[in-house]
Structure 1
Amino acid sequence: MIEEKKSFISWPVLAMMSFVTVIGFDDIIYNFANQGLGVITSWIILLLLYVIPYSLMVGQLGSVFNHEGGGLTSWVRGTSGDRLGYFTAWTYWAASIPYVVDTANAVVVGFGWLVNGNDSMEDKMSNSMFALLTFCVFLAFIFLQRHFKKSLEVLSTLGGGAMFIMALLFVFMTFASLFMPNGHIETQPMNLGAIVPKFNLHYLTTIGLLIYAINGAELVAPFVTRMRKPQKDFPKAMIMLTVMTIFLTVFGSFSLGVFFNAHHLPNNLKMNGSYYAFQRLGEFFHLGNSLMYVFAVTQIIYMCALLAVLLDAMTRMLISDTGKQFMPKKLTKLNAEGLPINGYILTTALSAFILLLGVFLPEMNDIFNWLLNLNGIISPGVTCWIFYAFIRIRLDSRKFQSEYVFIKNDRMAVFVGGWCLAVTVIATLFGILPQDAAYGSSLFWHELIINIVGIVVLIGLGFVMPTLAKREREKEMN
């Protein structure tokens, strides 16, 4: 009986596990850059009307498919068959390509701040050199991850925890600064109107990046069946997750409004905002650049570890979690050490392609912003599969029974699933429009074209692979 108790996961522990995967300080910066202080209202609305139901749906899907590990691909495969399961795995993998390239970008930016102590790298370095360094970082981790994978998983956990502590430190120190004699708020006027977003076309293009910032709850889905009372405890964990996320996003965004004028933000805030924030905080407390350097080291460790783990996990997931009939044997082949070398080559080639698309943008800042915004298109697009799978299990709830059920009434559950799916589809489609370029400008059309090209190539290859696999089998038979 004592042994059984040890295997249970309490709801506060599960909430903390999911919190580390869901939100980070950079996510707050990116969306503050898009919407200013109006993002506070957006965070509250999104978290209450989207994140809570999204998290609870994930809980039921994890409970239904607990025997398959609770992965997104197994949810779609279990409801719609192998072919759609394969395509889910492919899109999930394709969505990871811009993410790992963006992560490698962040490593280069972090080293720039660590070496120079400021944002001068942006002026000193050409776009092609920035892209080349990003690719070199990427290649280095392709070769190194197999040797340091386990230690880097530990480092990524430590880095994630340290990043959370840095975010909390920023919030608490910012509020403390307001009670000091020279404390003041940069954003003026700071009133109710300042936190109301402008609901226009630009706003619609930024919703995808908000969803990108808060998705990831599906990673804890397999643990729902390890709770003592999932029906009662899982909702508690997700509500605790939401409360913590609201605290960090709302007060974090307000804190940024203390040090930055939300009505006139720096053009390069997405790329350098985290460093600017800790630099200004350190200056206020007469600590010089010390807080910025601590953050830079934390960021580099976390991003390096995340990059190494992602590169291995995403490639293995694609190779192992798809039906053999949909992928050419060359891609699924493992070497003597059990590594999917050809899968790594495909990952590297597509990452180089994404970098090449962005290298002709006018400035380094444009490359960083474009890559980030590409994540705000593809990542929400993949999240659509979660709501699709949830709707399917609730349309046939007798077949897909589970220990944990979100909303007992099937019609209401399908309605809520449809609501979340509609919001995500709208966010994905509007996210294709460039966020950081004036509408109709040459930069706008440039980014729109490479957005479409990037999506078509990354997703389109998923349709090509089954055809290649079929031809391969036909050749073998002949």
Structure 2
Amino acid sequence: MDKKLSLVGLILIVFTSVFGFGNIPTAFYLMGYSAIPWYILAALTFIIPYAFMMAEYGAAFRHEEGGIYTWMSRSVGPQFAFIGTFMWFSSYVIWMVSVSSKVWIPFSTFVFGSDKTQNWSLLGLSSTQTIGLLALLWMAVVTFFASKGIEKISKVTSVGGIAVACLNLVLLVTSLIILFLNKGTFQQPISSNSFFHSPNAAYYSMLAVLSFVVFAIFAYGGTEAVGGLVDQTENAKRNFPKGITISAIIISIGYSLGILLCGIFANWQRDLNASTTNLGNITYVLMYDLGYGLGKALGSDSSTSITVGTWFARITGLSMFLAYTGAFFTLIYSPLKTIIKGTPKELWPEKLSKTNDIGMPVNAMWVQFFIVGIIIVLTSFGGQGASAFFNKLTLMTNVSMTLPYIFLAYAFIRFKSNTDIHKPFEVYKTRGAAVFSTFIVILVVGFANLFTIIQPAIEGDPSSTIWMIAGPLLFSIIAILIYSRSKNKIDKYEGIG
């Protein structure tokens, strides 16, 4: 008999699946200490109720293939399921657009000691256009090697993932050393106001503050992965709800502590207010400040402190570059294989679903490259500066990655109402509890995305709003067209009609 997960083992898996180091610098940059209440709120209103939903799905459909498509198809219907699954897949397309551009920031930081991408120029192009061309090159190279099954590359780059995880420890230990040497002085002063008002002028309005919630939700991404852990958990009916709740508390405390630690060595107005600082490079800027702060706390002169800061940034850059590379080599084919293999084969042209001798959907991967390439060109040649470009990509990614949560949450109500589905594990014992939790999740995710989408337009940047709307809308239309093309065959496949 296979050994099952203990309560502690479950907590560790959830923590490592969800907690992301990069969310801490982003939160401190956007909201300072006032990000903390929103991270706690997101844990209570999103990760806990949503994870329980995923657990019930996972237990009910544990013997069936197809993942989230099967969950939604059996609960609501094949068309809804396909649109929701296609939206999930499209979020990874937007992720690839973003990361293929952002990956050059850690590369630059490692090579030069700081982010120089805003000064790069090829063939007389602007820095943003240059990054766009490099992003295309990155996509082409990774698609080519991944289609050949170069597994060793992703294994080597997994070292980056371990290194990024270690950055949490570096932040904690170094910050506490600086705090001790500086006799308890915080560079970013703490007051009762600090937890309710952002030092960032862009987040003074209530609309902007509410739009930050999507960052908090994004910080808890990966929760759907816990759905398959119910059967692997010892005494699941008691331990699983307890494990998820404890994990959410630990993760929110971890984020809150990390944000507080940033204030030990960085002052927002002094260190983060530069026009060159953006959502793409904030992690490296803050890690430079951490190293610089350590040098100063140890009594070193400015030159030595700058050197220490630069090496902190370089090591972070290398770690993040390797982690991005490893993730890219997996995600360039994994979601694609999932949507093609996990949905009815009648939906796809035979050439698109065809795999090579190592199981890679090569034709589909190059179609994916073409789609990502078009979006890269359109966004990078849109006429904005590098900081605005990276900020836009981050917002697009956050919106696209969180929208599928609404589909899965809505389907959960129908799932609970369907008496034909055997439910061996239930956290929500009554329909009322399920409806209330679903309402909360949809409300939080829906309004967070709404505020994120409309805020740029209200503040004079309609371009960002259009792109955040255009992505999900375009992919929804594509999903409807693909489904409509093969509707009769799918209905027959699903046993409808």
Q: Does TM, scored on the shorter chain, surpass 0.5?
A: yes
Q: Percent identity?
A: 21
Mapped to 2, the partners of 1:97 and 1:120 lie a distance apart of: 26
Which stretch has the larger CA shift, 371-380 or 81-90?
81-90
- The correspondence for 1:54, drawn from 50, 66, 70, is 50
Deviation at 1:133, TM superposition (A): 0.8
Contact 1:373–1:431 (CA<8 Å) still a contact in 2? yes
Within the alignment, does 1:31 sit opposite 2:27 as a pair?
yes
Q: 5+ unaligned residues in a row in structure 1: which ranges? A: 474-478
Mapped to 1, the partners of 2:172 and 2:73 lie a distance apart of: 43
Q: 1:387 is matched with which residue?
A: 409
Look up the equivalent residue of 1:362 and give its one-letter code.
Answer: Q
Q: 2:191 is matched with which residue?
A: 191
The correspondence of residues 70-469 of structure 1 with structure 2, limited to 5 A, is: 71-125=67-121, 126-147=127-148, 150-152=151-153, 154-155=155-156, 158-181=159-182, 184-188=185-189, 190-197=190-197, 200-262=206-268, 265-266=272-273, 267=275, 268-286=277-295, 287-359=308-380, 360-396=382-418, 398-434=419-455, 439-441=458-460, 444-469=461-486
Q: 2:301 is matched with which residue?
A: none
Q: 1:476 is matched with which residue?
A: none
Deviation at 1:460, TM superposition (A): 1.9
Mapped to 2, the partners of 1:363 and 1:471 lie a distance apart of: 48
User: For each residue in 1:322-378, what CA deviation from the matched residue of structure 2 results, as whole angstroms up to 9, or x when unmatched?
Assistant: 212333333223345533222112211221122123212421121111111001211
Look up the equivalent residue of 1:132 and give its one-letter code.
Answer: L
SS in 1 for 2:319: helix
Mapped to 2, the partners of 1:181 and 1:412 lie a distance apart of: 50
Contact 1:105–1:134 (CA<8 Å) still a contact in 2? yes
Look up the equivalent residue of 1:275 and give its one-letter code.
Answer: Y
User: What is the count of residue pairs matched by the alignment?
Assistant: 463
Mapped to 2, the partners of 1:114 and 1:162 lie a distance apart of: 14
The alpha-carbon distance between structure 1 residues 324 and 222, as it changes in their structure 2 partners (threshold 3 A), is same
Q: CA RMSD in A?
A: 2.5
SS in 1 for 2:422: coil
Mapped to 1, the partners of 2:108 and 2:149 lie a distance apart of: 24
Deviation at 1:43, TM superposition (A): 0.8
Q: 1:67 is matched with which residue?
A: 63
What TM-score results when the alignment is normalised by the length of structure 1? 0.90
Look up the equivalent residue of 1:141 and give its one-letter code.
Answer: V
Look up the equivalent residue of 2:248 and give its one-letter code.
Answer: T
Look up the equivalent residue of 2:76 and give its one-letter code.
Answer: S
Mapped to 1, the partners of 2:315 and 2:356 lie a distance apart of: 40
Look up the equivalent residue of 1:373 and give its one-letter code.
Answer: L
Mapped to 2, the partners of 1:113 and 1:405 lie a distance apart of: 48
Contact 1:32–1:39 (CA<8 Å) still a contact in 2? yes
Mapped to 1, the partners of 2:312 and 2:163 lie a distance apart of: 13
SS in 2 for 1:94: helix
Contact 2:157–2:323 (CA<8 Å) still a contact in 1? yes
The alpha-carbon distance between structure 1 residues 228 and 169, as it changes in their structure 2 partners (threshold 3 A), is same
SS in 2 for 1:243: helix
Look up the equivalent residue of 1:165 and give its one-letter code.
Answer: C
Contact 2:66–2:341 (CA<8 Å) still a contact in 1? no
The alpha-carbon distance between structure 1 residues 156 and 227, as it changes in their structure 2 partners (threshold 3 A), is farther
Contact 1:334–1:341 (CA<8 Å) still a contact in 2? yes
Mapped to 1, the partners of 2:8 and 2:372 lie a distance apart of: 38
Q: 5+ unaligned residues in a row in structure 2: which ranges? A: 122-126, 198-203, 296-307, 491-497
User: For each residue in 1:55-75, what CA deviation from the matched residue of structure 2 results, as whole angstroms up to 9, or x when unmatched?
Assistant: 122111111111125822221
Contact 2:110–2:315 (CA<8 Å) still a contact in 1? no
SS in 1 for 2:325: helix
